Amino acid sequence: MSDSNAPRQYVPLTCHGHSRPVPHLSFSPLEKEDVYYMISACKDGNPMLRDGQTGDWIGTFLGHKGAVWQARLSPDATTAATASADFTAKVWDTHTGELLYILQHDHIVRAVAYPFDQSGMIATGGFEKKLRIFDLHDQKPPGEQTATSSDVVTPVTIESSRAFEIGEGVHKEAIKFIVWAQDPRVIITASGDTLRWFDLPTRRCTREVRLEGEIKSCELVSLARGHSSPTDIGGGLPVLAVAAGKTAYFWGGPRAEDELKQIKLPHGIASVGLDLKGRKFVVGEEPGTWARVYSWDDAKELDVHKGHHGPIWSIAFSPDGNLYATGSEDGTIKMWKNCEGFYGLWRGGVSGNGTD
């Protein structure tokens, strides 16, 4: 007989296929019939697309000539954007795997982001210390050939000079993360130990906040419509979750600038993910290889996930909140169940008479 108050340890799913560390992963929004996808960046240069519920491999985007640091899916999940050490960001067709656009830069690209609900704009940043926005609507669409099996799509190359630079001269260190707030006029960057908020209409930095140490992860966390509610953390709006030093930081509101909480932990943090509905957060400890689960309300440790053999650089929750994924230095992705009963490849589990 199991103790209903014991931690809910479900066996994770392990996604293999990458040959080098996984610095970043993210999920698509929820599509009809509860379908969603996961994309992973990898230092092997081959970002991968997977079924979000099962982790099953769908395809690999081939064409980068250097490590891929970040990968994101567009709000409509029809394209994917990747940021690479080969001095490019690339935009791919998620249905065919074809390369659509090459966004040319003059140094390593570390960060890429789409607006919250618009798939034709992409923001990039990296070692050039410049925040740029590329408007793909202005570009000639690639490959207007008729759709036959012999067609080869020729990607469109867009030079960085054709992008809009935001906050010229503001960044003093490489841009590691970019987050587009729910308010489309606001974009946030993580550079060194500093978060910066930018107003797009004026292209100016409106706020700077220095954190405890170098920012290791910075993500906007949200649930799909129909899954979020006013009782969630953040009141049903997306929440900015940031890991720096030994502290997890959280901001809310449509501009992601209302400070919700700072939680200091007894260990360093390499990454942080937030369960908006379950009122808990997950961190990758640093140094270390474990994922630790803490209560949002009192910072009590709820669980420890063991299984990775390297630091956990990225943690992302699915758009329905029913699972989360961890990407590690060990080259694997693990998916952890975050709900009761049947879900994805988890066929059953603890009966729902305890508390999370």
The residue ranges of every structural domain in the chain are 13-337
pLDDT for res 138:
76
Centre a 10 Å sphere on the Cβ of residue 54 and count the other Cβ atoms it contains. Answer: 16
**Which residue ranges of the chain lie beneath pLDDT 70?**
1-9, 140-151, 348-356
Query: Mind listing the pLDDT tens digit for each residue in 127-142?
Result: 999 999 999 987 766 6
pLDDT for res 9:
57
Q: Give the integer Cα–Cα distance in Å for 114 and 124.
A: 9
Q: Are strands 121-126 and 131-135 parallel, antiparallel or unpaired?
A: antiparallel
pLDDT for res 8:
55
pLDDT for res 33:
79
Q: Which CATH class is domain 13-337?
A: mainly beta
Task: Answer yes or no: pTM beyond 0.85.
Answer: yes
pLDDT for res 147:
45
